[in-house]
Amino acid sequence: MQLFTNGGNVPANQRTDWLTITHPVTGKEVRAHCFISYGTMIVAVTDEATYLDEYYWDYSATTGRYRNQFLGEGIADTRKGIKAGAYKLADLNR
């Protein structure tokens, strides 16, 4: 998935990638589709769950704009997803 600025360009400091990460709960290596903002992992989607970094998931307007693109929803939906347990908060940058 490619992220785009409002002008239709590729943003310099926002990216998505398939990475092997340390699972935030089990500690095992897993494949995840990730959103990374300024070198910080914001979202990791694994086969079993979608994880948002507990500190950085709503860090700035810029991070939020591209997180929304990645998840395909607005901030209100993301907050509802956290409250409902659809998204799990975890330290993705340890």
Question: Does the residue 31 lie in any domain?
Answer: yes
Type of residue found at 9: N
φ/ψ bin of 80: left (φ > 0), alpha (ψ from -120 to 50), beta (otherwise): alpha
> Strand, coil or helix: what is 88?
strand
pLDDT at 44: 97
Mean pLDDT, residues 51-78: 97
Q: Which has more confidence, 24 or 64?
A: 64
Burial zone of 16 (CB within 10 Å; 0-12 exposed, 13-18 middle, 19+ buried):
middle
Q: Which residue has the tokens 């300024």?
A: 38
Question: Does the residue 8 lie in any domain?
Answer: no
Provide the token pair at 92.
Answer: 């993705």
Asked if residues 77 and 64 have their Cβ atoms less than 8 Å apart, the reply is no
pLDDT digits (tens, 9 = 90+) for 5-61: 999 999 999 999 999 999 988 999 999 999 999 999 999 999 999 999 999 999 999
> Which residues make beta-bridge pairs with 19?
32
Distance CA(26)–CA(28), nearest Å, equals: 5
Question: Where in the sequence is the domain holding 70, given as residue range(s)?
Answer: 14-90
Instruction: Report the number of distinct structural domains present in the chain.
Output: 1
Question: Does the residue 5 lie in any domain?
Answer: no
Question: Does the residue 41 lie in any domain?
Answer: yes
Which has the closest alpha carbon to 37: 78, 76, 72, 69?
69
Please, which pLDDT band fits residue 75 given cuts at 50, 70 and 90?
Answer: very high
Which pTM does this prediction carry?
0.94
